[in-house]
Amino acid sequence: MVEFILYVSDQTRSRDFYAKVLQKTPVLDVPGMTEFQLNKSCKLGMMPENGISKILGEHLPHPASGNGIPRCELYLFTDNPEEACNRAVEKGGKLISEVQLRNWGHTVGYVADPDGHVLAFAEQA
């Protein structure tokens, strides 16, 4: 099992955004952590920035200092990247790059989530 955890400024807002975008219900949603099962071996988690900052302590900057700065990309395969991009924008995401055939052979569109994490919705051409 692999789990990727995004540090988010507002757990409820991120949960609602990703539930609509991924068209999934969280498998875990408690104060301090929300998780979505992407497939049988991969989860996507959301942890509030203030929660993880208690663990990081003085060793690393507070995650909020990076808001709006691209810090990761979630590359998600879908049968309809245009529909997924549109849904993400409708739910509060920001369109970065229209869906188009890329030189690596995938049709991909890019959207930023409310915290600036980059979502790529891709289909193999």
Mean predicted lDDT score pLDDT of the chain? 94
All structural domains of the chain, each given as residue ranges with its CATH number in brackets, are 2-124 (3.10.180.10)
| Entry pTM | 0.91
**pLDDT digit string (tens) for 48-67?**
999 999 988 888 998 898 88
Task: Show contacts of 89-92: CB within 8 Å, 24+ apart.
Answer: 90/20, 91/16, 91/17, 91/20, 91/21, 92/13, 92/17
Q: Is 99 helix (H, G, I), strand (E, B) or coil?
A: strand
